[in-house]
Structure 1
């Protein structure tokens, strides 16, 4: 396996930390992976290695305000900047792996971003994989509180507060939770603008299932206490023809770190291989 790390600067002069895992031979596909809020791309190292073993390259980056990338922790200028960063990463994937089928894969907040990108932006990727997406968060405040947060998001958009949640909600695997708590690159900050924009983007997803025109694999644990699996189910039911929704019984938030991770991985590979095979038949 070849593993490269480097920095790239976006059009708005933000330095993003990138890393690529790839097989020694030309890959049959490349995955562009978008991580969740508070974490960073290196938490997916072991997961990426599994894809490389199946001759699939993985490109990921630390989102702005996260990990080794620029930006105040948990702060964004706008949600559209996150969409721009996905465009930037997809372009990089195309530069590195020209003419190789590309798939967009997002987890948690990144899963919501992947769905929003699919709905709002044009791209030539083959399909989208979204795990435990932030469509609706389990910690969503009452509407009256959201009204107050919207005012703050306008007055002090870049002011951030420390969030608190039980890391045991990430996975049944205790080692995963301990490593998360001890990870110096993990943060627990969120700005008013980031929360409000992500909240609104989630409900925007729910209102636009008809805009999904490419294959979508949507995976969620039904015991997820961080994002709402029922919202994923409702959204999937509104998508016509091209969405596959799988719900994992008793699974928590990080399916790639859960007891069912091998089952999850196998399903992703089979889904991806079926799309690649179908594309070859069309050609």
Structure 2
């Protein structure tokens, strides 16, 4: 039986909403989850309870500007600069360290881009070896060709982000572009925590992170152990081709898997009732295989 525990993570004067899905017995592994743009952690259906049912404990949190971490209208989309976004993630991860079981990190969409950014940040290179696996669901490595903004618009947006960082801008994402499930589409339209709002600073930071990833400026820290990346070929939110190219360029990581989901949309965890079962099994099996690898490593006996 899975136990769900709501809580909060305090960073200065900001309180971030958290939720933990615990297995019935001692965990075999732990997972920290990072959600996407215009998203919150209670939209992942059976993903986290399924992981917990297999002994994988999950901790997730609503990032600044999103979900239940928004306390007033002015908070909507107010993520802060990339340095703050990444330090928030690190702050949450450190609540799980040292971990008696292997620790994994999974990010969806914008959150996937943030996971890559963290794995590439020299400031946190000491954290890299402590993460057993870096997992990416439809990561924001680049826009799709159809959704890519004009270069001039991007330049002006970055400039405006410096001049008016907290200026809010509504940036709606059509639910029909994220999933093939009509019921999920209805729920996205009805969800009061989906506010379609970003700040110019936050949007500019997301663009900068994405540019650093897809141009190769962001390079994974030494000691990155394992990567799993899953992406649907019919994704209208982030680029399948860019994800595959980035993955193939990570030649320094020996243990890596790229999973193609033919015809699937952006939210692998909420695409259709049938396909999301496949996704959940894939990530569960990948984590547990590495837990088994860890347990099969025999300690080296000290020689006197």
**TM-score range normalised by the length of the shorter chain:** over 0.9
Matched residue, 1:230: 241
* 2:150 matches 1:149: no
Choose from 274, 289, 293 the match for 1:278.
293
SS at match of 2:296: helix
| Aligned equivalents of 2:134, 2:115: Cα separation in 1 | 7
Counterparts of 1:88-107 in structure 2 under 5 Å?
88-94=91-97, 98-107=99-108
Q: 1:80 — aligned with what?
A: 83
Give the gaps of 5 or more residues in structure 1. none
Return 5+ residue gaps in structure 2 as ranges: 299-304
In structure 2, the residue matched to 1:255 is 268
Deviation at 1:82, TM superposition (A): 1.1
Counterpart in the other structure of 1:20: 20
Q: Is the 8 A contact 1:216 1:243 kept in 2?
A: yes
Number of residues of Structure 1 aligned to a counterpart in Structure 2: 280
Output the TM-score relative to the length of structure 2: 0.88
CA distance in 2, matches of 1:16, 1:62: 6
Aligned to 1:52: 52
Partner of 1:125: 131
8 Å CA contact 1:76, 1:158 repeated in 2: no
TM-score by length of 1: 0.94
Give the aligned CA root-mean-square deviation in angstroms.
1.6
Q: With a CA cutoff of 8 Å and minimum separation of 6, indicate the structure with the bigger relative contact order.
A: 2
3-state secondary structure, aligned to 1:194: helix
Alignment of 1:218 onto 2:229: yes
Runs of 4+ off more than 6 Å: none
- How much has 1:214 moved relative to structure 2? 2.0
CA deviation after TM superposition for structure 1 residue 186, in Å: 1.3
Map 1:178-217 → 2, pairs under 5 A: 178-206=186-214, 207=216, 208-209=218-219, 211=221, 213-217=224-228
**Which has the higher Rg, Structure 1 or Structure 2?**
2
Q: Distance in 2 between matches of 1:9 and 1:244?
A: 35
Q: How far off its partner does 1:195 sit?
A: 1.5
Q: Is the 8 A contact 1:14 1:70 kept in 2?
A: no
Give per-residue Cα distances to partners, 1:149-176, cap 9 Å, x unaligned: 1110111011111112321111111111
CA distance in 2, matches of 1:48, 1:210: 27
| Aligned with 1:244 (options 238, 242, 257) | 257
